[in-house]
């Protein structure tokens, strides 16, 4: 009887030890999962912040583009040294990389100096611009 009691005590002790080991492993796994969850949440918040900033910039750019598209007439009225003339935007932007191409690309439309009639003012000799 003593032998079966000692076996029973030994089995209970072994079961207790294994239960404690399993609990410790579970607790360790739980701590690791919580750490990973916090790290994932941090990464998510950073990416969300980046996306919101990109969206804000995109929205700003969209407003600018829509504004330019609405004002970008194919015909440009010029005041060159006091002489009025008109030409197409395509003509002004024909020489890629030139000052005129840059000025009339649409990006700088609201920055161009205009006279009281709304013509783009270019402070050049009108005789030179006709050649």
Q: Which residues contact 25 (CB under 8 A, 6 or more apart)?
A: none
Residue 128 or 84, more confident: 84
Inter-residue contact 114 to 78 (CB < 8 Å): no
Question: For a pLDDT cut of 70, what percent of the chain falls above it?
Answer: 89
Residue 126 predicted with pLDDT over 60: yes
Residues 81 and 54 in one domain: no
- Reported confidence tier of residue 43, pLDDT bands at 50, 70, 90: very high
Residues 97 and 122 in one domain: yes
5: containing domain: 1-71
What token pair was written down for 37?
A: 């969850």
Q: Is 109 exposed, middle or buried (0-12, 13-18, 19+ CB in 10 A)?
A: middle
- Reported confidence tier of residue 67, pLDDT bands at 50, 70, 90: low
Inter-residue contact 118 to 77 (CB < 8 Å): yes
Separation CA 53–CA 31 (nearest Å): 33
Over residues 91-111, the mean pLDDT reads 87
Residues 11 and 59 in one domain: yes
pLDDT at 111: 86
Residues 65 and 110 in one domain: no
Residues 120 and 65 in one domain: no
Separation CA 23–CA 30 (nearest Å): 10
Residue 129 predicted with pLDDT over 60: no
Residues 86 and 65 in one domain: no
Strand 83-88 relative to strand 120-122: parallel, antiparallel, unpaired?
A: unpaired
Residues 82 and 42 in one domain: no
| Model pTM score | 0.44
pLDDT at 119: 93
Q: How many domains does the structure of the chain reveal? A: 2
pLDDT at 2: 66
């Amino acid at each position: 009887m003593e032998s079966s009691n000692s076996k029973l005590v030994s089995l209970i002790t072994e079961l207790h030890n294994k239960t404690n080991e399993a609990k410790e492993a579970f607790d360790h796994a739980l701590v690791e999962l919580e750490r990973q969850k916090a790290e994932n949440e941090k990464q998510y918040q950073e990416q969300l912040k980046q996306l919101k900033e990109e969206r804000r910039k995109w929205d700003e750019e969209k407003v600018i583009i829509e504004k330019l598209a609405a004002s970008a007439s194919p015909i440009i009225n010029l005041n060159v040294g006091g002489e009025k003339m008109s030409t197409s935007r395509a003509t002004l932007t024909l020489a890629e990389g030139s000052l005129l191409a840059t000025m009339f690309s649409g990006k700088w439309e609201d920055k161009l100096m205009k006279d009281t009639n709304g013509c783009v003012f270019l402070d050049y000799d009108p005789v030179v611009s006709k050649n």
